[in-house]
Chain A
C-alpha cells in the first residue's frame, strides 16, 4: 500500500486538531494500519500529553533533523495498538527549527515504514502551517459549527487549494444535534453549503473527550462513546471504505446496534 501523509489543520485554534489527530491515528492503527502521528506544533507540543505518552520522550523531530539522533530513536511506540507510533516535536524551539523541505524529507523517510503519517499542524496560517502542509497528500480541516472557526476554515481551504494540496476534507467537530434542531447551531448542511467542501467526518460533542484527555487515553482506543465512533468512521473513510455520512444525526452505539446508524 502506498503511504499517505495526512495533515490535520484548522486555521482557528482550539477546535480539536490534536484530539482529532490522536483519535484518527488510534482508529487507523486499530484497523491494522501502520500509523505514525507527528506533532507539527514546534514549541507548543501537546499531542504527547493528549495521547498519554509524554513521560516517554527522550528525543524529538528537531533532534532528528539536526542529527542528534536517528529517526528510530525519536519514535515512541504506543503499545495500546498494534502499530502506532508518536513522533514528538521540540518544546523549547520555535517554528523555524524545521523548514518545509526538511519536513518533506522527514516524511519521505517515514513513508518507508508507515501506511499513514498524520501531522498535527499548528493553528494559524503562518510558517508552521506551511511546513506541515508541504508533505501532505491529504488535508483534514477541523472546524466547529460556529462562525469564527468556519470562516477561518474557508481561509485555510483556499490556501490548501492554492498550494495544490486540495481538495481539503472537513471534520465538523463538537456538533450538538439538539441545538441544531433548535436552530441555534449551524447544521452540517449549512457548513457544507457555505464552504462547498467535502465532509469526511461529523464528530458530536462528547463529554468523554475531556476525561480521556485528562487521563491521556484517546476515546478511539477503547471507547464506544459517540465521538469514538465518529473517529472510527473517519479512519475507515481514509482507508477507502465507503461509510455513509449521516448529516442528520450523529450515530450512537445503540442506534448502530439497531441498524439505524
Chain B
C-alpha cells in the first residue's frame, strides 16, 4: 500500500523532511548559505563552457561531509560530442 501510494505521490514526506534537514544542517554547520552554491554553479558553467561543451542543465554543485571535512563536490557532464571525441582519441592511442 505504501509503495502504491509513493508511486503517485513521489517520495513520502518523512523522507523528504530528512533529506531537506540533512541539506540545511550541512549548510548551517559549514556557515555557507545554500543559495551561494547556485551562484558558484553559474560561475563554473561560465568558465568551463568557454573551453568545453558541457551539459549546463545537469551541472551539480554540492557541499558534502567526507569524514571530518566539508568538500565542495562539482559534477559537470560533458556533452555527447566531446565524449565521442575523447573516446575516439583513447581508441587510437
Contact = CB atoms under 8 A, between A and B. Distances in A.
A56 B34 contact: yes
Interface of B is mostly: helix
A30 to B, nearest CB: 22
A59 interface: yes
B16 A54 contact: no
B23 to A, nearest CB: 7
Nearest to A45: B28
B16 to A, nearest CB: 5
B39 A58 contact: yes
B58 interface: no
B31 A213 contact: no
Range, interface on chain B: 10 to 19
Nearest to B36: A58
Nearest to A212: B13
Interface string A210-222: 1101111000000
Nearest to B33: A57
A196 interface: no
A255 interface: no
B17 interface: yes
A109 B13 CA distance: 37
Contacts of A56: 34-35, 38
B24 interface: yes
B13 A55 contact: no
B51 interface: no
Interface residues of A, number: 18
Given A49-B24, A91-B28, A57 B35 contact: yes
B20 interface: yes
Contacts of B36: 58
B34 A92 contact: no
B72 to A, nearest CB: 15
Contacts of B31: 91-92
A258 B23 CA distance: 44
A54 B13 contact: no
A215 B39 CA distance: 24
A215 B28 CA distance: 19
B35 A211 contact: no
B17 A214 contact: yes
Contacts of B47: none
Contact of A57 (B13, B16, B34): B34
Interface string B15-45: 0110011011000100101111011000000
A213 B34 contact: no
Contacts of A59: 33
Interface of B: 13-14, 16-17, 20-21, 23-24, 28, 31, 33-36, 38-39
Interface of A: 49, 52, 54-60, 76, 91-92, 210-211, 213-216
Given A54-B24, A58-B35, A215-B13, 5 more contacts: A49-B24, A58-B33, A58-B36, A91-B33, A210-B13
12 contacts: A49-B21, A49-B24, A54-B20, A54-B23, A58-B36, A58-B39, A59-B33, A60-B33, A76-B35, A92-B28, A214-B13, A216-B20
Closest 3 CB pairs of A and B: A214-B13, A214-B17, A58-B35
